[in-house]
Amino acid sequence: MQLRLGSVLPIHRLMKSYLPHLDCLARPVVYAGLLFLSTTAHAASNSRAGATTPELNQDATTPVEKKARNITEQAIASRLQFTLNGAEIIWLEAQDQEFLAVYRDAEIQPPSGAIIINIANGRVVESSLTHRTIAEVAAGSGWASLSIQPTERSNQASTSAPEEEEALLRLNSAIDYVRRQAIENIIVVGDAGGANVAIHCITKDSPAGVVAVIGLGLWNEDLTGTDIPVLDIVGTRDHQALIKHHARAVKTRQRDHPVDLVVIDGADASFTGYEDVVAKRLRGWLERITPGVAVRHSHRSAAAGGS
C-alpha cells in the first residue's frame, strides 16, 4: 500500500496493512501513533483546502462569520489551552479584530469584584509567573480575573500612536466584558507599560466600573486629571521604579487618594521568586481599598459577549 502526502486512510486499513505481525502488547502503542499521523494528515489536508476548525469556546449560536484573529495570538492560545488551570481562553473584540484573553471566575460567589491584568506591549499573556499567581490568588479570594494579550511591539524605540490606540481599545473592551458579567468593582493591574495604558484609559475615557489601578514596577503616566486610588508595587532592587514612585508621591500628595506604596524586599523588576508575596500584598490592598461586594443584582452569564 502506498501512502500519499495529505491522504487520509481509515485507521483500520492502516492497521491491517502495517501491523500483521505485531503482538497484542505492541499493537495499541503503534495504533496510537498511526492515529496521530492520520489525524495530522487530515488537518493538513483541511488547511490546504481552506477549511476551518471550530474555535475555542465558540458558542453554537455564534454566527459563522467571525472577525479576524491575529495569527500569533492564535498560536499563543493553542499553547495556553494545555497549561491553564481553572481558567478559560476567550476572544474579545477591538475594532475589526478579535484578541486573546484569559478569564478566571471567582472561586467564591458572589465575587468581590474583578481584576484586569494589563501587561506591556510585546509581552505574552500568562507567560509571567507573577501575573499568573496574582490571577490565581485573586480568584481564590473571591475576585474574578481577566488577563489580556497586548498588541505586538513594533521595532520603534517608543510606543507608536496606533499601538497606543489599540492598547486603549483592548483595555476598554476588557472592561466592557467584565461589566457584562455583572461586576462593577474593577481594578486594573498594569505591569510597567501596561500601567501607563491603564492610567491613560482612566483619564481619557473614564470607564464605568473601574475603581482603582495597581502599577507593577516602573511606569510614568501622569496622574493629572484623575483622583482614582493607585497602588505602586515595587521591588527594592528595582531602583528606577523606586525613584519614580517617590517623585510621583511628592507630585500627587494633594490628591484625595495619595499614591500608596508596597515595597517587596529583595525583589527586582520581574518579582521572580517573590510571586506569592506580591499576590498576597496586592490582595490585602484590594480588601482595604474596595471593601464589600460590588456586583450588580442581575443575571451573571459567563458567556456574555466576547467568548
Shared domain for 187 and 41, answered yes or no, is: no
Give the relative orientation of helices 275-289 and 129-140 as an angle to the nearest 10 degrees: 40
Q: Does the pLDDT value for residue 187 go beyond 90?
A: yes
> Position of cell 501491523?
19
Strand pairing class (97-104; 143-148): antiparallel
The answer to whether residue 205 is domain-embedded is: yes
The predicted pLDDT at position 225 comes to: 87
Shared domain for 110 and 256, answered yes or no, is: yes
pLDDT tens figures, 196-243: 999 999 999 999 999 999 999 999 999 988 999 999 999 999 999 999
The predicted pLDDT at position 295 comes to: 53
The predicted pLDDT at position 296 comes to: 53
Shared domain for 26 and 94, answered yes or no, is: no
Q: Does the pLDDT value for residue 192 go beyond 60?
A: yes
The predicted pLDDT at position 218 comes to: 97
Shared domain for 34 and 90, answered yes or no, is: no
The answer to whether residue 114 is domain-embedded is: yes
Shared domain for 151 and 278, answered yes or no, is: yes
The answer to whether residue 6 is domain-embedded is: no
Strands (E) located in the chain: 68-69, 88-94, 97-104, 113-118, 143-148, 186-191, 210-216, 230-235, 260-264
The predicted pLDDT at position 258 comes to: 87
The predicted pLDDT at position 34 comes to: 35
The answer to whether residue 3 is domain-embedded is: no
The predicted pLDDT at position 254 comes to: 87
Shared domain for 114 and 219, answered yes or no, is: yes
Q: How confident is the model at residue 125 (pLDDT cuts 50, 70, 90)?
A: very high
User: What average pLDDT does the chain have?
Assistant: 79
Question: Which CATH number does the domain housing residue 271 bear?
Answer: 3.40.50.1820
The answer to whether residue 307 is domain-embedded is: no
Q: Does the pLDDT value for residue 43 go beyond 50?
A: no
Shared domain for 177 and 227, answered yes or no, is: yes
CA dist list (Å): 68 to 7, 51, 91, 99, 265: 29, 15, 11, 9, 44
Q: Does the pLDDT value for residue 24 go beyond 60?
A: no
Shared domain for 36 and 139, answered yes or no, is: no
Q: Bigger pLDDT: 301 or 285?
A: 285
Shared domain for 75 and 197, answered yes or no, is: yes
Shared domain for 37 and 85, answered yes or no, is: no
Give the relative orientation of helices 11-18 and 26-48 as an angle to the nearest 10 degrees: 130
Average pLDDT (105-122) is: 94
Quote the cell numbers at residue 152.
505586538
Q: How confident is the model at residue 39 (pLDDT cuts 50, 70, 90)?
A: very low
Domain total for the chain? 2
Q: Please, which residues bridge with residue 94 across strands?
A: 97
Q: How confident is the model at residue 294 (pLDDT cuts 50, 70, 90)?
A: low
The answer to whether residue 146 is domain-embedded is: yes
pTM over 0.85, yes/no: no
Shared domain for 130 and 26, answered yes or no, is: no
Q: Does the pLDDT value for residue 50 go beyond 50?
A: no
Shared domain for 165 and 104, answered yes or no, is: yes
Strand pairing class (113-118; 88-94): unpaired
pLDDT tens figures, 126-175: 999 999 999 999 999 999 999 999 988 655 445 567 888 999 999 999 99
Q: What residues make up the domain containing 227?
A: 68-289
CB 163 within 8 A of CB 150: no
The answer to whether residue 279 is domain-embedded is: yes
Q: Does the pLDDT value for residue 62 go beyond 70?
A: no
The answer to whether residue 170 is domain-embedded is: yes
The predicted pLDDT at position 304 comes to: 42
Strand pairing class (230-235; 260-264): parallel
pLDDT tens figures, 272-281: 999 999 999 9
